[in-house]
Chains A and B, each alone.
Chain A
């Protein structure tokens, strides 16, 4: 594991230790609700973090369905590389919270086999970069078995992993490869960008009879928000309009949603009302919501932290061109990650990622480019 990731987990533990003045298991410091107390510092009262929302979702899934278990590297004793599963081992024991060896192909494939046999595994992969070690299992097995077996076998497996840059972890821990997975029929690709989606998407994913990959952007874990009123499943078939607007549509997902909303705020100061669409599901894409927005605003900017060439932004752009070309008043803009392996140095990393300034500039180009 990378040191920065380790540090994040340590920080979470320190917080836990600091708040744990009462009796109880380490992950349950005197809290009757059984929620670990880390990650709560620095957020407004009455809110929960993305990390906590995900942890609650996992805990609830395990309580709700005896077939569900969590498996991955350091999910147990360590508490999860990003402290998502902190305290769950103490609550549910090592059968349901399974630490695995550093063997992505084996434990992801084992998740596939267990799903085939009727279990509902949640497999955690530390980062999308490591998922490449299990690419064979995900693409050649999870995605294909139903079809190759003529419909006899389904793989109701959920794979969670972090994605994205912004934490100075350099190239081998920072990439956004979810678009690669979104290329593959047989998979469903989700990218929760809000606390509510972090809380609810897992439920929906576990009820899906097919393999679902959940991409959690590392920079979102400390984001906080209102706890969802109804912590039930969320509709993963629909993109969401996160901010209504009339002048330009900003399409994004996952970790770039906060920056895109910030850009929309700046644009509003200049009198440009941007509509922000959060894709939420990268496969299958919700064309309907995208095109409806394009038909309202007639201008489109696609924001994607991943590389531009051959990426998801290209796919969305092509669909807009195919389905809403005559509604466009300006060429589709793409604001994407620089075409470099993500650098370590903070200023270089920042320069490689689409920030609010870049997004706002893209939107201004689209708006100025009147037909």
Chain B
């Protein structure tokens, strides 16, 4: 991340707020450009936008270290950006290019980045939860003080996988940070139409998991809660659950005519916009000026422009490589932190 345009250090808290603001703005502007590119048929497939929910990604992922792992959903551009996956690699993936973070095989819903321990990009609701539990199990068995953060939506809490996973993680006291993005709609089904008990933190707590509801429109509240929970998980406190109460301004996906909710409701939530809220707070604290904001916007626009240019120019994955990566191409490709006693031949025709 470049420091250009960053105001002079105004104390630790001020610096943190600046990074949070930058993180949220990058996500929003990135996705606004995605809408344009989608309309121009430059990118295709399903496109699920995160606009309105930026505080959750920006705040939560700042509470993690580079060693921690992140498992996400199909609405994961924000998580990937906040995790530090370059905008260029994400945009190239949307374009289906060879330089995309999944080599053009994943698209918007399946962003992956091994170097940043970003494990997707899961498009089956609730499907990432068991994987997160397993990542945490591996850390636990190897005595590593790492956290696996698993992000999912309110819809996933109706899936059996959620209950199986929270139970298992609690039973084995695994280092999982469950982050539920309660944006109030499972596709088009409102919370009260999908859940008998709409207090989601309460439901998670029934498994003996420490659970909190957090104002997901307040990035500082998100970061503080995530930091507390992640540290508790890291130091052996077992799984923790955060219900981030948030809202998406846009439809479920670009295909969704958004007929299931009123415009007034959306406008009401926009009054609590996480970016506007933080800017107002920073202004009040004298931590940002209009000029700072303007230069930040310029810097972000330039970063996204560069990502788009780079994606447009990037090569396509050769069709001859269509069937690559179905199986490992050479022995040991799966990673080898341990060492087998006697190495046999990994057979692959």
Which A residues form the contact surface with B (CB < 8 A)?
63-67, 69, 95, 100-101, 103, 105-121, 136-137, 140-141, 145-156, 185-186, 188, 203-204, 207-210, 232-233, 235-237, 284
Contact across chains for B338 and A204 when beta carbons are under 8 A apart: no
Q: Is B349 an interface residue (CB 8 A)?
A: yes
Q: A113-B131, A284-B349 are in contact. Are A150 and B112 (CB under 8 A)?
A: yes
Contact across chains for A115 and B340 when beta carbons are under 8 A apart: no
Q: A66-B338, A149-B120 are in contact. Are A106 and B165 (CB under 8 A)?
A: yes
Give complex CA distance A154, B335 in Å: 8
A-contact 0/1 string along B104-141, CB 8 Å cutoff: 11100010111000011110100101111111111101
Contact across chains for A151 and B133 when beta carbons are under 8 A apart: no
**Sampled A-B contacts (22; CB under 8 Å):** A65-B339, A67-B338, A101-B168, A101-B171, A109-B127, A109-B165, A113-B133, A113-B134, A113-B138, A118-B138, A118-B338, A137-B127, A137-B131, A149-B105, A149-B325, A150-B102, A150-B325, A153-B119, A186-B326, A186-B327, A207-B344, A207-B347
Contact across chains for B164 and A106 when beta carbons are under 8 A apart: yes
**Cβ-closest 5 pairs across A and B:** A109-B130, A113-B134, A150-B103, A154-B334, A117-B138
Chain B proximity of A185: nearest CB distance (Å): 5
Contact across chains for B335 and A118 when beta carbons are under 8 A apart: yes
Contact across chains for B130 and A108 when beta carbons are under 8 A apart: yes
- Chain B residues 55-114 with CB under 8 Å of chain A are 69, 71, 100-106, 110, 112-114
- Report chain B residues within 8 Å CB of A209: 327-328, 331-334, 346
Give complex CA distance A65, B141 in Å: 14
- Interface size, chain B (Cβ < 8 Å): 65
| 16 extra interface residue pairs, beta carbon distance < 8 Å, beyond A113-B134, A149-B114 | A66-B338, A103-B168, A105-B130, A106-B129, A109-B161, A110-B130, A113-B71, A113-B132, A117-B69, A141-B130, A141-B131, A147-B326, A149-B105, A149-B121, A209-B327, A210-B334
Contact across chains for B347 and A204 when beta carbons are under 8 A apart: yes
- Report chain A residues within 8 Å CB of B137: 110, 113-114, 119
Contact across chains for B130 and A112 when beta carbons are under 8 A apart: yes
Chain B proximity of A138: nearest CB distance (Å): 11
Chain A proximity of B125: nearest CB distance (Å): 10
